[in-house]
Structure 1
Amino acid sequence: MFKRIALVAALAVASTTAFAAPVTYKIDANHTSVVASWSHFGFSNPIANFGQVDGAITYDPANVGSSKVEVTLPLAGLDSHVVKFDEHLRSADFFDAEKFPTITFKSTKVEAAGDKKLRVFGDLTIKGITRQVVLDTTINKVGEQPMAKRAAAGFDATTTIKRSDFGVDKYAPNVSDNVTIRITTEAVVPKAE
């Protein structure tokens, strides 16, 4: 009888572990980079970093399909390392940041794509125009972040978009229409209130 009770208890614990709820992590802007790169007349491949990232990642390794991502990129955090160029990028020639101060991404579907790989489908909105993009994503690590002493998750992702799809097409095609976006992010479970 005791063995049967112990077995039922063990199965209950196992089923709770197997069906654990998804975990929601807050993006750590200090350990997150969203970098865009493009060809400048074929001579160079400049970059711009979109800093001050805000958002959340919900990840469930047992049920990847229930995972989701929601991110806001304030254009105030745009940094190409050239102040005058940053101002030009924020102008109406490109992002028109005064009228559209943020870029957003909201996932619509997440699916497994191999060992430590995901495909994150979602709606990217730039200048009020929304298009679906796919982020090819690598799961770097999920575990306790030693400095925060809380659960954390880290991911890298890449995608390529056409800037003309979002009305950011000044100087195309000489300055390439295709823009590669590389993301690395660390996200931590928020502190308990």
Structure 2
Amino acid sequence: MRFPLAFIALAATAPLLAQSAPEIPGQVDATRVVAGTYTADPSHSLIAWEANHFGFSDYIGLFGDVAGTLTIDPANLSGASVDVTIPVSKVTTASAGLTEHLLRAGKDGAKPDFFGPEPADARFVSTSVTASGNAATIDGNLTLNGVTKPVTLAAEFTGAGNNPYNKKLTVGFSATTMIKRSEFGIMTAIPLVSDEVELEIHVAFEKN
């Protein structure tokens, strides 16, 4: 059987390509996590929200520039704590009109439909952590729109390692939860726009 020259050349270079492929810096390896306090990397942390519109489709938006701290000890995960702040004023969507609606003032002096033009930052502060393997249940208090309510996050460890650019030890987590916006005083258009809002959280923390 004769092989095309291109196939032979590719086969010959395959080992070299395999050797030169870089390793992804973050790995799902708990032994890489070092005890201490970490600070959120705002450039690589975000919270996505999703709410149904008229039963037809979902609105999806993002909060970026997440700030906050994580304190963790792999030998005592139940003692871990997280405190993050979310700048609601920086909410963004794929629709300029929707983003403007979320942040516009109420008409004729009325309350805003959603957040208003100068919304306070939201904040989540954990009260307990229950870990199981690479997953954890994080209970805490979410303050949004001036209202504080208990919220439970289903969290997952997504990786740890050294950032190749700033050389900082970094750990990453994702989490999901569901809230009812009516509990936080955001009532507009319920039930045409769903009361239930799904949150998807992705945060990278860098060791201090």
TM class by shorter chain equals: 0.7 to 0.9
User: Higher Cα Rg: structure 1 or 2?
Assistant: 2
Q: TM-score, normalised by structure 1?
A: 0.82
Is residue 28 of structure 1 aligned with residue 41 of structure 2? yes
CA drift of 1:97 comes to 4.6
Report matched runs for 1:132-143 at 5 Å: 132-143=150-161
Is residue 74 of structure 1 aligned with residue 87 of structure 2? yes
Match of 2:116 in 1: 96
Query: Structure 2 vs 1, CA of residues 130 and 81 (structure 1 numbering), >3 Å: closer, same or farther?
Result: same
CA distance in structure 2 between the partners assigned to 1:97 and 1:158 by the alignment = 27
Match of 2:127 in 1: 108
CA drift of 1:184 comes to 1.0
CA distance in structure 1 between the partners assigned to 2:197 and 2:91 by the alignment = 15
CA distance in structure 2 between the partners assigned to 1:101 and 1:130 by the alignment = 13
Q: How many residues align?
A: 169
CA distance in structure 2 between the partners assigned to 1:130 and 1:76 by the alignment = 18
CA distance in structure 2 between the partners assigned to 1:107 and 1:80 by the alignment = 28
Report matched runs for 1:3-42 at 5 Å: 22-42=35-55
CA drift of 1:81 comes to 2.2
Is the 8 Å Cα contact of residues 95 and 126 (structure 1) preserved in structure 2?
no
Is residue 50 of structure 1 aligned with residue 68 of structure 2? no
Is the 8 Å Cα contact of residues 34 and 74 (structure 2) preserved in structure 1?
no
Q: TM-score, normalised by structure 2?
A: 0.76
1:79-108 residue CA offsets vs partner (Å, 9 max, x unmatched): 01222211211231112352x321111111
CA distance in structure 2 between the partners assigned to 1:152 and 1:159 by the alignment = 23
Give secondary structure in 2 for the equivalent of 1:46. Answer: strand
1:76 maps to amino acid: S
CA drift of 1:143 comes to 2.7
Runs of 5+ in structure 2 lacking a partner? 1-32, 105-111
More deviation, 37-46/89-98: 89-98
CA distance in structure 2 between the partners assigned to 1:64 and 1:97 by the alignment = 39
Runs of 5+ in structure 1 lacking a partner? 1-19
Is the 8 Å Cα contact of residues 35 and 50 (structure 1) preserved in structure 2?
yes
